[in-house]
Amino acid sequence: MANLTGLRARGDHNGDRENDGDRGGNGGAHGRGGGAVGGGLPGAVAAEWTKLWSLRSTWWALFAAFGVMGLMSAILATSTASNNTNAITTDDQGVVQVSGIAVGATDLVQFVLIALAILMITGEYATGSIRTTLQWVPLRDRMLAAKAAVTAAVMLPAGVALGVLGTAVAEPLLGRWGRLSAGDAVADVLAVGVYLALTCVFILGVGTVLRSTAGALTTAFLLLMAVPMLLVNSSVKALGYVADALPSTAGRHFMAGEGGPYPPAVGLLILAAWAVASLALGTVVLRRRDA
Amino acid sequence: MITLRGLTKRYGDKAAVSDLSLEIAPGKVTGFLGPNGAGKSTTMRMILGLDRPTAGEALIGGRPYAALPRPLTEVGALLDAKAVHPGRSARAHLTAMARSNGIPVRRVDEVLETVGLTAVAGRRAGSFSLGMGQRLGIAGALLGDPRVLMFDEPVNGLDPDGVLWVRRLMRSLAAEGRTVFVSSHLMSEMQLTADQLVVIGKGRLLADAPVTEVIAASSRNAVRIRTPRPGELAARLAAEPMPLQVTRSDAGELAGDGERADERAGELIVTGAPIERIGMICHEIGVPLYELSPQEASLEEAYMELTGTSVEYGAGAPQKAGV
């Protein structure tokens, strides 16, 4: 019979083969490709990386993120400059840190990248391809860890690049109202990258628990934007503490540097704790649920 | 080798799969049959670790799927051809798949060639027809050169050429010593492809036997006799001390006209008696025979008989076998 399967012929095949050597009989199949071992977490990460970049939506989301960053930084920079020069003196901000404009713009830009992170998991539930993914990588924690690693690996440099873009756009528009020191700018731009990476990993966990794109996006908007705003404006002091413990507020304190209710490092820790907690919850839910 | 031990899946108090224990052996095509809702897909999902069994276990070469370090090199499965992200090209899908299990990426082009998708490898999977989707799924199953293959309704949406191709593929995979486990609702297809049959109904095992045995065990296996003296033979057969059944299939035509009846011969269908014994009886009483032939039940008939009382979503009418 013709070799229909396109697979390497195996002379040693017989009916008993699977019964005896279990692992030992695998040499023929596994030894191909110059001793390719692979699999495991590195394999899972490589697969997620390939999957992410083979979708057009990834490229569109990144493209959009840079567009929104450019636009937001331009708006923030020009409004800062005009506030300082107009007749109203109460809104004067004086000379600002140029990279601080990029940090401010991140509040909005983050939602584009968050949508991308959410789609990495909810997109698979929507298309049914989650079952294929789990066939490749059946260990739930490994599958989610791979997605988190890829999310962080994409969002960190993307965030840094976005920070650089925002700073570059803001600088000429701020003119004499902008202050640019290399040390502060590098710190800000790195902070934007770290913030976006951790926030996207956090939201990946949320998407894993909720499985729905719309549900996860709504949750992200409420938790990162609406709820902190409401709490901060509340007159009850305890609610202010709650707001400070939320991921986006913690992230803002982390990016803003000294002067917040707690040091930036604490803000970073709080944000990281949210990311770890959501991944842990996502793993627990994945393990319990049928795919 | 796939081993199921007391495999059970309950949704609330409704059992989708009940205490299923069986072994699916290598070197054979094992057909997995059952009416809609019988639990076929649930069973396959549990084998792949996608659904958690309520009780029992499903093992591949003695270990659960999730414990396999590089599962795609041991088990290739096509469960749902639509479970591919529609925005990804066939090649990118298979490349990601290969990387996940450390399979050399050059295998991707090999399996694309095998299933005949090379020309459309760069196209988005979402633009594929059902048949092309099935081929992509089969390519994925073959990618890791696994010893165990599972296919859920693989010929769905394939044209006759494709059906023939899948049939030959299954046969050659089994001939190479692999375990091939295929679910289908197409009995005729299974009769041509499978060596062994596993039949389930309402989540319970109804049969696990070679195809030939399933057919032979059907009570619908009968002997057809054409003779000019059917009445005489029928009376003699009725006196036999065995639980046989005789049916005059031409009773209406014969009524009234003896002469013509002699010329045209009567037809009897006998079940429950060996053909050799019937032949001897005819010889003893001197009844001439125009025909004495075994009527083998089709797999479809055997299957209907097995599952007749276990159809989950029947069409209302009782599943009664007509003669």
A10 close to B (CB below 8 A): yes
Record the tokens describing residue B98, joined without a space: 């290969």
- Segment B20-36 shows an average pLDDT of 93
Average pLDDT of the residues of chain A: 87
- Segment A52-81 shows an average pLDDT of 96
Question: Could you tell me which of B79, B81, B75 has the C-alpha nearest to residue B136?
Answer: B81
B-chain residues near A22 (CB < 8 A): 61-62
Q: How far is B158 from chain A (nearest CA, A)?
A: 17
Find the range with the poorest average confidence among A41-50, A98-107, B285-294.
Answer: B285-294
DSSP H or E stretch at residue B291: strand B291-295
Record: contact B26-A10, CB cut-off 8 A: no
For chains A and B, count residue pairs whose Cβ atoms are closer than 8 Å.
172
Record: contact A6-B179, CB cut-off 8 A: no
B-chain residues near A131 (CB < 8 A): 45, 50, 79-80, 83
- Segment B198-206 shows an average pLDDT of 89
Record the tokens describing residue A265, joined without a space: 């490092």
In this predicted structure, what is the pLDDT of residue A4?
52
Query: Can you name the CATH fold of B2-210?
Result: Rossmann fold (3.40.50)
| ipTM of the complex model | 0.83
Of A9, A22, A54, the CB nearest to B61: A22
- Ranked by mean pLDDT, which of A37-51, A66-80, A86-100, A253-267 comes out on top? A66-80
In this predicted structure, what is the pLDDT of residue B245?
78
Contact residues, A window 40-99, toward B, CB-based 8 Å cutoff: 40, 43-44, 46-48, 50-51, 54-57
CA distance B102 to B83: 21
Of B50, B62, B100, the CB nearest to A137: B100
Of B27, B49, B92, the CB nearest to A138: B49
More confident residue, B266 or B315: B266
For residue B247, the cross-strand partners are B269
Mutate which: B17, B100, B148, vs A, most A CBs within 10 A: B100
More confident residue, B256 or B122: B122
Of B85, B95, B104, the CB nearest to A124: B85
Q: In the predicted model, is pLDDT for residue A271 greater than 70?
A: yes
In this predicted structure, what is the pLDDT of residue B219?
65
Strand order in the sheet with B2-11: B14-24, B2-11, B55-60
* Residue pLDDT, tens place only, B74-109: 999 999 888 899 999 999 999 999 999 999 999 999
Q: In the predicted model, is pLDDT for residue A17 greater than 70?
A: no
Under 8 Å CB-to-CB from B299, ≥6 apart: which residues? B187, B188, B190, B191, B197, B211, B214, B215
More confident residue, B308 or A161: A161
Q: How far is B7 from chain A (nearest CA, A)?
A: 15
CA distance B171 to B136: 19
> Between the CA atoms of A71, A75, A76 and A82, what dihedral angle is there, to the nearest 10 degrees?
160
In this predicted structure, what is the pLDDT of residue B247?
78
| Sequence spans of domains, chain B | 2-210, 222-295
Of B65, B96, B177, the CB nearest to A17: B177
A-chain residues near B84 (CB < 8 A): 127, 129, 132
The pTM for the full model equals 0.82
- Per-residue confidence band for A7, with pLDDT thresholds at 50, 70 and 90: low
Q: How far is B24 from chain A (nearest CA, A)?
A: 11
CA distance B87 to B85: 6
Structural Rg of chain A based on CA atoms: 24
Percent of chain B at pLDDT exceeding 70: 89
Percent of chain A at pLDDT exceeding 70: 87
Q: How far is A49 from chain B (nearest CA, A)?
A: 8
| Sequence spans of domains, chain A | 39-288
Q: In the predicted model, is pLDDT for residue B256 greater than 60?
A: no
DSSP H or E stretch at residue A263: none
Handedness of CA A105, A110, A115, A120 (dihedral sign): positive
In this predicted structure, what is the pLDDT of residue B270?
86
SS3 state of residue B1: coil
Cβ pair B203, A29 in contact under 8 A: no
- Segment B221-232 shows an average pLDDT of 85
Contact residues, A window 113-152, toward B, CB-based 8 Å cutoff: 123-124, 127-132, 134-139
In this predicted structure, what is the pLDDT of residue B213?
85
Record the tokens describing residue A36, joined without a space: 């390719």
Q: Which amino acid does the sequence have at B316?
A: G
A288 close to B (CB below 8 A): yes
In this predicted structure, what is the pLDDT of residue A66?
98
Q: How far is A226 from chain B (nearest CA, A)?
A: 33
In this predicted structure, what is the pLDDT of residue B58?
97
CA distance B67 to B65: 5
A-chain residues near B148 (CB < 8 A): 18
Pairing mode, strands B196-201 and B204-210:
antiparallel
A-chain residues near B173 (CB < 8 A): 5
DSSP H or E stretch at residue B249: none
In this predicted structure, what is the pLDDT of residue A200?
98
Cβ pair A146, A48 in contact under 8 A: yes
Record: contact B104-A127, CB cut-off 8 A: no
Of A6, A48, A288, the CB nearest to B114: A6
More confident residue, A15 or B54: B54
Q: In the predicted model, is pLDDT for residue A1 greater than 80?
A: no
In this predicted structure, what is the pLDDT of residue B188?
77
In this predicted structure, what is the pLDDT of residue B299?
72
Average pLDDT of the residues of chain B: 86
Of B96, B111, B179, the CB nearest to A50: B96
- The residue of chain B with its CA nearest to that of A287 is B52
Question: Could you tell me which of A247, A65, A275, A256 has the C-alpha nearest to residue A161?
Answer: A65
The string of DSSP letters for B166-183 reads: HHHHHHHHHHTT-EEEEE
Q: How far is B314 from chain A (nearest CA, A)?
A: 27
Cβ pair B5, B56 in contact under 8 A: yes
